[in-house]
Structure 1
């Protein structure tokens, strides 16, 4: 008979015991990797714990509240300039509170996200801010069973576990496609990160191609990369794509860094930008404002996202707070035409 669990309370050893059909003492031994437990029993307990989303409490009995003043922030990368800005906004919002953000990095790997989430939750943080809406079943179960405020950030194209703050990447892709078509570009190439790893880039590409298709235009060439210097990759991919498909008149990049590499290549080649070749990126990275020409881009609202996510956590933890579970806050990015998009 399936075990019915109240989703509003944290899971306990007893829940895992009932789900696996073994004693709480045996469950404790398995989860602490102690004692003489058969392989079959160990497997049964671990499978039950994973399916429930149970995470052992490393501070059980140490604090009456069973919570520590930490907010777990789980992001895919620290080398991508976007996420340090998000972290900065979260940290600034929590500055004058008792809460302290702690960071876990997943490298865009779902299995690593599971491990990071497991470790973070085992310390019983007061809240979780996690990038993206796509998670493994095990990660989603842990988030749902955590019993604390969860805010998924950067994206609103999907169903959140609890609350979400971000932009619609599909809408962002559509907006950029319309801006490109309005300027008269029709021979379009796309360059970006590996789509299975970067869900938000995939959604932008989907929105981008959908909007082009409505006007009878399609992406004529595309290339994807992973690892290495994004700036150098942008130069390499742009050179290869223009040699392969020389009739292209516009290149859309999934982020500003590879777009900046493409712009530097075009300038070195003496191409008329945007007369002969238009370019656009995504994120509006401040670091690139020092380029000889300003790359067209779109603001990803990252600082606003970080600040709003932290405010939701604070409000949810405040007994008189206004924020409720299930909030979805969609922010509206804007296009910056720069020097590489506007022809007319």
Structure 2
């Protein structure tokens, strides 16, 4: 019987190791780190080797010949060590003192964020925000007192707290006063709080009055852009009457791009009336040999233009395939027998490479 018990206890200890490594997931739910019952319950569950060895000792058992009470003591030391490493002892200490482990709190005229003291914050005027009153999960990251606006526990430098209020622009939470627009931990440079608004794509904004407008990407002003003719293409790319932009950088500047006909084809390519463009941020370029009039998009990152078949590799570079018959080329689901995902009348291919002959 002792052998069976030893085996079962060993399996339980192995399970404890897995539980300890996965234990941070126990506190992934909002508010879980501040819930005393959940924290103490998790601590008790993770401490199960100690009562397990005590129970074995009460019945006079041992663990591979080692006294069970001694094993309980060793377990307590090891578990305590891991609790310190994982920060659980600190979590318990904070909760016992009434300090929240996550988010803002005011305790004994001191202000904390994630249990870290915020120096010089005014406890009496300190105000926090939540999903309930601002309808955005970012709200809990902000707070303010009579002098400062805070983001993630840090005072945002240079923000005028007079007439400061929250505003949802597009899908994001901003703070505005009479002269400033604030997002995250910074003031949006040059933004006009009365006119700052979002396009339908979340990273593009516009500010100012007609004739003096500025385009922003991710709240950074885009230089040398014509705001009157600007149109966002997606969250990353946009265009005016002369240029294509990736974020706040003009791209494809060495090519005469027809911006009026410039269209995004898929996640990898775009076209105008003369070119196919491989889109790769600042490294975007013309796909040599490709013609917009016969460019075809297949599944599984294969493309065809005339007599050339292209494959976009996992590192996102487009290359023409060799030894391929474009006219008979077909893309399929992955075939277990041939280990391929495409074929022509001569070969089978997988990820753009020949894997077998037909």
TM bin (shorter chain): under 0.3
Higher relative contact order (CA 8 A, sep 6+): 1
Greater helix fraction, Structure 1 or Structure 2: 1
Give the TM-score normalised by structure 1.
0.21
